[in-house]
A and B are shown apart, each in its own frame.
Chain A
């Protein structure tokens, strides 16, 4: 279908994104500016950027679509996506910022002084990020293709090129400011659609639920085991997502990192509270005439006409841009910072930034190719799998590294490999129909923890500066002095 208003609004998003990147170009002269915006992003700015980064196509389109399709079972995603932030706040946000590096590999390598761990963390970052990029690019292609009438391939190429352009041009600072704008746009779009949809039910939430009847009941899609496993994976996966974790490095202090999380929880909490209303409204008003990834835009059209669908498409496009930009920065850091500095120690700042920009172009091309290869896959489902891999690969290593002084290099390395390989194998065998467990984190996270504990105990070779590390990540400057 052709949507002139939507096309114009998407055009506005594109122009704003590139303008912000152009104005931020002078802030990419050092690695600190390129990767962590000079650590000068305030708590509220960072919370908006983190929310934009986190609320991807899966949150904006996928959750409402799953609620439309399966009813209550789709709500698990909203609750899980939200709940993970508390784990992040309680265990990791402040220590990670206090360590003050650029990437997750920096953090584990700094804790254990280990090149193999740095390499494993780099591979893990790329693995998780790629798994997360695929559904975003698929979402971009489907959304722009279906609703604006664009060819799928052209839509994916345009989205990928735009994201790459503004990351290369403006680095983390441009990415941050764009994510702030995109967060406001997509939250507002969700709110307006929800309000317009509720107006069809005299603003009575209860009346809406009465209309959808059986869809408010659980287990239409997920059985008990898979519901439990999904929540478990989403809650712990948030605390293992590289593109989210590295944003905490952009805060000026550990205290600021904590307050960033408070604001983020408020923004995304209110957002996820709206998604079931929108999903159920789509079911009540559209019946079966919607799709897993298109329930929200089609509902917007039904309740607000062409102008409203334009706002939603622009919001969804913003959600995709902000998330993929964060993933491109995280992947770029993994290759250009972690790998390059390991291979070429002592490279100049200028050379490192140049390599980072070149790498961002490569990652952008990879994102476009992955979008083209995985056409037709379900967006929220794929993101759920990325959470499982993140939870299994990074969460146990980061948690034990930050809180247990007995963790050793060998223990951390073994735990990371077991988590990453184990979750990858479990997902592949599930997709091949060999078992029914869709989100394997419930098995692979405990397995990774046990591996870290057992191998560390057997090894016993605790890094000599562990207590120094503990002081650095757990104490404020005032406490240390």
Chain B
């Protein structure tokens, strides 16, 4: 393979990594911030949004899941499109 092809591959892999890393980091922060907020912002996390559902509870049993599904669909559709070009 020529150096030019190697450079193309490097550029492509770097672009793919940036995409995966930014989405992965965002989701890791979304997930790991939960115990941090429970520890350092307990008042906020204990606020009731409706009924018995607090911010903390909805975050852990609903929000994390929805964020993951959105990221998943976005990533897969975008990657399929890029590979199809």
Contacts and interface: CB of A to CB of B under 8 A. Distances in A.
Interface in A83-132: 83, 85-87, 89-91, 94
A205 B13 CA distance: 46
B60 A478 contact: no
5 contacts: A75-B60, A261-B76, A262-B73, A269-B69, A276-B61
A216 B54 contact: yes
B72 interface: yes
B83 A476 contact: yes
A308 B82 CA distance: 48
B73 A75 contact: no
Nearest to B83: A476
Interface of B: 1, 6, 9-10, 12-13, 16-17, 20, 23-24, 27-28, 31-32, 34-36, 38-39, 50-54, 56-57, 60-62, 64-65, 68-69, 71-73, 75-76, 79-80, 83-84
Interface of A: 72, 75-76, 78-80, 82-83, 85-87, 89-91, 94, 204-207, 209-210, 216, 218-219, 224, 227-228, 231-232, 235, 255, 258-259, 261-262, 265-266, 269, 272-273, 276, 403, 405, 467-468, 470-471, 474-476, 478-479
Given A228-B35, A474-B13, A210 B52 contact: yes
Given A403-B13, A474-B16, A475-B83, 10 more contacts: A86-B24, A87-B24, A89-B72, A89-B75, A204-B51, A207-B52, A231-B34, A269-B68, A405-B13, A474-B9
A47 to B, nearest CB: 12
Nearest to B30: A83
B65 A209 contact: no
Nearest to B71: A86
Given A86-B24, A227-B35, A231-B31, A209 B53 contact: yes
Main secondary structure of the interface of B (DSSP, over half): helix
B28 A265 contact: no
B64 A82 contact: yes
Contacts of B57: 72, 209, 216
Contacts of A207: 51-52
B15 to A, nearest CB: 10
Contacts of B71: 86
B69 A265 contact: yes
Contact of B32 (A216, A232, A255): A232
Contacts of A405: 10, 13
A90 B32 contact: no
B38 A227 contact: yes
A232 B28 CA distance: 9
Given A90-B23, A91-B20, A255-B83, A470 B13 contact: yes
Nearest to A277: B61
Contacts of B6: 467
Contact of B27 (A83, A206, A218): A83
Contacts of B24: 86-87, 90-91
B48 to A, nearest CB: 10
B64 A83 contact: yes
Contacts of A72: 56-57, 60
